Structure 1
Amino acid sequence: MDDCGSQIKKTPPNLSRKKLKLVEKHKREVRKRLLYSPKQLPQKPTCKHVKMKAFKCNELTMADLMKIHQHFYSKKDKLSQDTYILKWCNSRDPKRHRNITQTTKSVSIEYRVPTLHGKHVRICRDAFCGILGVKKDRLQGVMKRYQKGKIPEEGRGGDRVKGKNDAKKEAISEYIESLKSVESHYCRSAVSTRTYLPCDLNIKRLTKMYSDSVEEHLQAKESFFRFYFNTNYNIGFGTPKTDVCSTCIRFKEELKKEKDVGKHNDLIIKQRVHTLKAKAFFQFLKESRQTRETFSIDCQKNLCLPKLPDQSAYFSQQYNLYNFTVVNGSSKDKLGKDHVWSYVWTDLDLAKNSSVISSALFDALSKFEFSGAIEEVSILPMDVLHKTRI
């Protein structure tokens, strides 16, 4: 693969290739929230514990009841509500047991609620159930399970296979993040979360490559790999590159079909020398000397005109807009209007040929004011020789 443009990492759900559906809008989740939503307002205690020291049910105001009720139903799920019950209920073994003929009481529960003044008031079971709008069986079930060392949990519904494929997902993540991403051609300022893989890859091929590299119990179907790939990463597959060096393409194709070891090594050496020459060229472009002026020239991409959505205009004969640019200075110098010349014309004015390019370059050099210390002038074509001869 090519040299990596950036490291592949997991992305947040809202920035992944495919956004996950909102689980809270599923019909099952809506029904579950309705199940744990309040059915009525809190009921004021009607018990007769007025003169008893143990219970202070009559001290609660309607504002206290509404506050308790709102806290309990602030989260409409069973785990949060059961946790709230455990917070204000204390359980212990009963001190007295009934006769053998009667049902044995397994747990004794003490109920308390907070007031607006910060006091914790003990109340009876009927008052506690009336305020929260729950039945006594739910309270006893929560406290009995807690007495046995069990924490609140939701036993109805949910993901029955959660955790079953964790090892497989971890293996897929390690494989994807081991791949080398490539820089998108003509898209160097793209969104930082978007990375690209070579254009000769796709999800189907990645699935096969992954399955061949892992043990049998970690192999995944294409649908499973595709879903995990799309919902956890923001990776695209680059389109075939354009405006690529012809020599680089020739070396790449010859290396694919060459079987002889000696010739294969010679091609690798030649390719390496060609790459080093290109790096030396750009290193030369970065250098700045007092006795040398550097000019970079490039023919920008042709723009087809007219750009209209009308079908008749699209299929009619179009003409090109050409742009030839001359830039003075090294790649580290600041650009200004005195150092950049842009020549724009269309097919209606002139054809694009070596005479036009040479005339534009001569015009730019004529307008530039050379100092007396300049001994050398370097003209560096940025692949312009591949497009038109000068």
Structure 2
Amino acid sequence: MEYDEMDEPVLLTSKGKRKHCLPQNSSCYKAKEKRYSGNGLVASVALNDNTYTSSPDTLKESDLYYIKQQLYFTNYKVKQDAILLSHMDAMPCKRRRQQVEAEEKRRQRDVSIKYAILKEDKTKVPVCHASSLSIFCVKKDRVQSIAKYWLENGKARPENRGGPRETEEQTAKKDIVRKHIQSFNCRASHYARRGAPGRKFLPSDLSVGKMHQMFLEQNHQQVSYSLYWSIFVYDFNLAFGHPAKDVCSSCVKFRIAINDPDLTAEEKRNKILLYTLHRRRARQFYDTLNDVGDTFTVCLDIMENLVLPRFAICQTYYLRQVYFYVFGVVRHRGRGEPQSRHEINLYTWLEYENSKDSNIVTSALHHYFTSLASVDLRQCQSLRLFLRLLLRPE
């Protein structure tokens, strides 16, 4: 038995599909960046009866711009909160004055805050609450929450939004899904490994949807298809069916040579020219095939070898032992011409009945020309035979 036909267990891998996370392209990220960028905000001093700024003239336009830039040099909210905290002196309220008679309308503030800002000449200036908010272009609720958190915890408030929300129930579901995927058998292949190194292949009649349905029937747990698909893609390096094995060797050789990083620009250009020439020759071959005229053109192909028995049940699927060979003989009438099903002839035999060699292929052709196509063959001037395996440039 060949190596690429050996069954292997499905294993977890770190070489699954990479998650392409580009948060900077999301609308939510752009809105948050705009919210904390400070663009379009103008710093100003709010003058009222309760202000204790030494003088309005002590803060110039350059000072306001400098103070605002100290906060908005970054659009990361956690760093901005720490900068705001450095301009505040928060303490618990020591005295409460009942300025409102109705008790239900009284506001019970737990934090008292004094503000001081640093001018461009590195001198501190005390400002009132309203001026501090208008200079930094922030709202009072944000300042109050920063000060309250600092009094309760003794540090700046961290970022608690976003991040993973893994629960024990979700982790247990993922473990069960991984075990179900690992219950299948896969196969490796000697071919087509460069584009997907380490890739293993499940049976071609399976799919992620079928595997998810089997999981629901066997485990009776509500796991969404998106969760099952993400685990299949990101935790495993799996595909369905086998890669193409009968591709043109010259095409593969040229593609590998073109992608070689050690090639110089001149060498790469020469490889591309040779590859282009090879593909033009392949197209010329197809043109010759389609130029039927008054000839009798036949295409031959030993098609995919089927393996029996053919069942979807895992235990039976992996017990298959006997090959079912299919040899096709098709009369080709030219490009765009209708293809009748009577012009397609298949010769089939089992592995134990005969081998797959030139003798049986010749016997099939002899039967085709002497019995099935004898009348049409006499009416044509010449006979052309094309082996289909040679007509697969990639």
Give the TM bin, normalised by the shorter chain.
0.3 to 0.5
Q: TM-score, normalised by structure 1?
A: 0.46
TM-score, scaled to structure 2: 0.46
